[in-house]
């Protein structure tokens, strides 16, 4: 899979011409937030490669990430005579990317698509790796498929229109990648905190490329999550539980940040990382605008929700812990007591550990 990085859309035509996509039609799929901002610009480049360029917009929001919305896209594609040689373009954040990818995986038993992510979280995480899906009966991404995009086109310049809250949400995934795989990158993030906060174009471009590179390297080695790719779930098991408990009103990356702190707390409880490292991780989350306390949660309900996570295997959670900053591992023996201790740590129960 090719990945293009540019602070403009100028290379999009070139990316298509270098790809295996040669159909007549392309449908730009966005939502009611992204289409008004970027669809015209993206369409102008697509029209150089396709004789028919359509635009379809989902209603914005996680609450629309379901099979009913996918049906509406199927109907649109049928009405506009899309066949197996045609393709989709996902223009938006993680919700749009997941839904478009799922539609591409299932329409006519599979058509090609590309990702053009417009949020930080999508640029550094969800646009890559081929995971697609929709929520079902309140469970996140419970119905889906692995379907790799032909290429990803990342334009960090669009992040200038992103709200502070959405940008912070993306930083949850950036920090996750640094914590699980690259201690030097974690240090770079600390050293460039001001530039990142100001969204300096070149600094953000480097940050996005580095984070994307971490994920892409892992995905290439384990495309269908049989082993190492599970490391990318650092912070996600408890994070997803909080996300569901909050009825998806707290952004995904915010929940991941809380999950990172909980995982760090459990790792500390096992003597794997020190107290200083635990609080450094929490402080960095705070510095990048992420919550460090999950206000108003029920510890036991969060525990119950973790056991409904799709990453359960044989009745046991595959939980990701930190051996050290920059090195994570899969633990299949995390106890309910450890999970509760991690949950309580982010619920404001300040536990003072002795070294």
The angle formed by the CA atoms of residues 36, 42 and 48, to the nearest 5 degrees, is 140
3-state secondary structure of 91: strand
> What's the pLDDT at 309?
63
pLDDT digits (tens, 9 = 90+) for 267-298: 999 999 999 999 999 999 999 999 999 988 99
The structure tokens listed for 144 are 């889906």
Low-confidence ranges of the chain (pLDDT < 50): 352, 355
Cβ proximity of 246 and 266 under 8 Å = no
Q: What are the C-alpha distances in Å from 216 to residues 194, 222, 223? A: 27, 10, 9
Q: What is the Cα–Cα distance from 341 to 22, expressed in whole angstroms?
A: 54
> What's the pLDDT at 129?
84
State the average pLDDT for the chain: 93
Domain boundaries, the chain: 2-160, 164-345
2-160 has CATH 3.40.309.10 classification: no
> What's the pLDDT at 278?
97
> What's the pLDDT at 312?
57
- DSSP assignment letter at 22: -
The structure tokens listed for 164 are 């502070």
164-345 has CATH 2.40.50.140 classification: no
Q: What is the Cα–Cα distance from 23 to 192, expressed in whole angstroms?
A: 43
Q: What is the pTM of this model?
A: 0.90
């Amino acid at each position: 899979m090719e990945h293009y990085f540019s602070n403009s859309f100028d290379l999009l035509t070139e990316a298509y011409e270098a790809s295996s996509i040669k159909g007549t039609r392309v449908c730009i799929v966005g939502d009611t937030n992204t289409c008004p901002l970027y669809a015209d610009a993206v369409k102008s480049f697509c029209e150089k490669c396709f004789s028919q360029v359509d635009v379809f917009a989902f209603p914005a929001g996680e609450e629309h990430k379901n099979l009913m919305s996918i049906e509406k896209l199927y109907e649109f594609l049928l009405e506009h005579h899309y066949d197996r040689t045609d393709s989709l373009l996902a223009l938006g954040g993680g919700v749009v990317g997941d839904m478009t990818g799922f539609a591409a995986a299932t329409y006519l038993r599979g058509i090609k698509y590309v990702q053009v992510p417009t949020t930080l979280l999508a640029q550094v995480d969800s646009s890559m790796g081929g995971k697609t899906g929709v929520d079902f009966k309140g469970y996140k991404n419970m119905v889906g498929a692995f379907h790799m995009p032909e290429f990803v086109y990342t334009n960090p310049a669009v992040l200038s229109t992103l709200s502070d809250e959405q940008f912070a949400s993306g930083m949850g995934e950036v920090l996750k990648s640094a914590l699980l795989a690259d201690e030097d990158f974690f240090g770079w993030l600390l050293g460039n905190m001001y530039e990142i906060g100001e969204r300096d174009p070149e600094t953000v471009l480097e940050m996005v490329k580095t984070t994307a590179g971490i994920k892409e390297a892992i995905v290439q080695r384990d495309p269908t999550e049989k082993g190492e790719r599970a490391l990318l779930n650092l912070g996600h098991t408890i994070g997803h539980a909080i996300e569901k408990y909050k009825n998806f009103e707290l952004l995904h990356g915010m929940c991941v940040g809380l999950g990172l702190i909980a995982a760090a707390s459990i790792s500390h409880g096992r003597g794997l990382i020190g107290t200083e490292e635990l609080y450094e991780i929490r402080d960095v989350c705070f510095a990048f605008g992420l919550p460090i306390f999950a206000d108003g949660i029920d510890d036991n309900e969060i525990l119950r929700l973790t056991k409904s996570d799709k990453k359960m295997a044989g009745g046991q959670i595959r939980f990701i812990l930190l051996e050290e900053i920059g090195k994570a591992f899969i633990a299949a023996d995390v106890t309910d007591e450890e999970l509760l201790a991690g949950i309580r740590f982010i619920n404001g129960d300040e536990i003072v550990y002795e070294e």
